[in-house]
Structure 1
Amino acid sequence: MFSARLRFKTASQFIKTLTFSKNHNFFPSSSSLFLGTTTRRNMSSSAAAKRLEGKTILVTGASSGIGKSTTFEFARTAPKNNLKLIITARRIDTLKEVASQIDAETNGGVKVLPVQLDVSNPTEVKNFIPNLPEEWRDIHVLVNNAGLVRGLAKAPEIAEEDINIMFNTNVTGLINMTQAILPIFKARGTEGGSGDIINIGSIAGREPYAGGSIYCATKAAVRSFTDSLRKELVATRIRVMEVDPGQVETEFSVVRFYGDKEKADAVYAGVDPLTPDDIAEVVVFVATRRENVVVADTLIFPSHQAGAGVMHRKA
């Protein structure tokens, strides 16, 4: 029995007694209480890799930014688990480079299929699945990442072209991709279907700001569509999830300013924004939870940000 009369002059004596005393086993040793960080990380990585075993994952907008990082993160998580990645974007040459890099990094352990696709084009999306090689059609995870922002104009001076491309890509494209893949998910399993739909949203969909009315509206639409779809599929094993980044440094701002990199760089002056890898880690995390776990809604900020327009900039 552990004696309540034992006295310890210092905390270190107490810890040593708990750890090394073989006569008193009232408390477990500290080594049995805490697994090492490396051990826990390896166990977590192993579980994630196993849950990706044999799966086919589709990532849109994978030629740069969050989409590209997400592709690499999936490959690095399960490099020897018969994983297949379908990556799409408008820039096919860049996609081929990504595929080649992953092939080299995983020694061929991850198969990558680059496909040129403009999600804003309904005809291309409609023909996407029929044109895939048959062995690539059994998709398990859809990451709806393709999206963009154009300009900072305020009504009534917003260009119609900018309105159209943002809605056609961010909203219509995302919905059309989801509808193209959903029949595959619904045909799988015995519980109404299974699969993961991960939509990349934005803080802009939660907190609209001046000069971003159209972009904010598109991301609010993504948020509403995601929430509605989750309710429509609640009786199935199809998980519908949204990941909303705050400020991330990507080509996003370059596109917003029509290629003006100087203006884009000014957006990140005095701050330490998130990187695409930060978001990719979260995407892979939500995709590799147990089947019964739905990380429905995730908002990610860098430490200097507290809202859409609330940021601390260093002098």
Structure 2
Amino acid sequence: MTTVHPSASPAAAGDGGRPAAVVPATRPSGTQGPGPAPVRKEGRPRIRSTKGRDIFVKVSMVWMVLLAAVIMLEPLLPIPDPAAVDYYAIAVAPGQSVAHPLGTDAIGRDILARLVTGGRVSLTVGLGAVAIAAMFGTVLGIIAAFFKGLTDRVVGSGVDIFLAFPPLVAIIALSVFMGPSLSTLVIALGLIFTPQVARVARSAALPYVSREFVTAARGMGSKEFRILWREVAPNAIVPVLSYAVVLVAMAIGAEGGMSFLGLGVPPPQSSWGTMMGEGRAVLAASPHVVLVPATTMFLTLISLNFLADYISRRFDIKEAAL
């Protein structure tokens, strides 16, 4: 765009009335006035930094690997028998005894040894219950999303009925009929978590039922069940996996609460919840008896939640890239 300079009039243009000189309109430096707006360079969209969360994810991975290694290598570790009683070290606080680095409980049992064996029970309950829920819930949810209609209504009604039933009542009822045991707790929690997994699996599979690759596979003559397991199911696994990690944390917490109330694994088996329940009587005099297993459970649960969040974020990134 060009304009005529204000001082260049026809009278001052010189002989012959030649037109005034045409100069580009510019904005003098340091002054304000009309002029072309500065061009804003287009750049990449600002991406929120995830370094802080990634640090917690790495710490969570390290914690879970160490916990799993200690539990699996427990027979090889130089720790005492968790059922052995040291009558010369009753309710010893952590750091006061070389033989008992994390102290002893109210009757002289080593807390570190019981923590390792109790961790095996707690993780067994968490992984076992979630395995049952993931197996049945994923199948029900994907089938309901794929076939829709009557199948979806029947599965949805069954899921709603199970979700309306109080979980604590279900655990107590199974404990009465089957007897309190580790397997009873695993089955009870697995049945409680199955409807939740079914809902997540259905929601994850529903967008893929009408996608182009499913329509193409059906047009090529593929059978319905082959399309279901080869095309739809693999795409619904990642959200279910992310939620399953959260359910492991929920199952461990539920086992701790049930054992704390005396509805969990029976003696002589010990879990983190059992240790906390047994430490209630000496909580005022020896708080470490409860704090040590409670802190271990807290670190495990928060680590699992960070890992579940990491899996969910990775899944979102892949979907956005597609």
TM bin (shorter chain) = under 0.3
Q: 1 or 2 for the larger relative contact order (CA 8 Å, sep ≥6)?
A: 2
Provide the TM-score with structure 1 as the length reference.
0.26
| TM-score, with structure 2 as normaliser | 0.25
Instruction: Give the structure with the higher percent helix.
Output: 2
Task: Give the structure with the larger strand fraction.
Answer: 1
Look at both structures and tell me which one has the larger radius of gyration over its CA atoms.
2
